[in-house]
Amino acid sequence: MTIIKINAITVPSDGGDELAQRFAARAGAVDDRPGFEGFELLKPTDDRLTWLVVTRWADEESFQAWLTSPSFAHGHRSETPKEGEPKARPVGVSSELWSYAIAGGTAS
């Protein structure tokens, strides 16, 4: 059964572009993981500050295997700044992980 994992990330109003750029820089990094079915980064279209990272997985075990994998750790590490550059600041100020199962709908 497909499960949906949503990371709800609160981003300051001036941080959304940076968040999108960081996700774009590692696009496809999770695509080859067993059980991975899809990904979307959802940008708010109103005055909300919460962006949604939506992933679909074949099952909870596949998600947990990715969460504990070296590729997850690598993709979520802080970048080491080049000499003379300041350390990159976190983009999000908070986040929550939500978990859902599909209960109905028409999407395939």
First CA to last CA distance, the chain: 13
Tokens 């080859």 — which residue? Answer: 32
Residue 32 CA to residue 59 CA, distance in Å, equals 15
Structural domain for 24, as ranges? 1-74+90-99
pLDDT at 87: 61
Tokens 């919460």 — which residue? Answer: 50
**Residue 49 falls within a domain, yes or no?**
yes
pLDDT at 86: 65
**Residue 85 falls within a domain, yes or no?**
no
CATH of the domain at 31: 3.30.70.100
**Residue 104 falls within a domain, yes or no?**
no
**Residue 5 falls within a domain, yes or no?**
yes
**Residue 22 falls within a domain, yes or no?**
yes
Reference 93, options 6, 4, 18; nearest CA is: 18
**Residue 36 falls within a domain, yes or no?**
yes
Low-confidence ranges of the chain (pLDDT < 50): none
Residue 84 CA to residue 96 CA, distance in Å, equals 33
pLDDT at 53: 94
pLDDT at 45: 95
Q: In whole angstroms, how far apart are CA 48 and each of 19, 25, 43, 97? A: 15, 24, 9, 17
**Residue 69 falls within a domain, yes or no?**
yes
Count of structural domains, the chain: 1
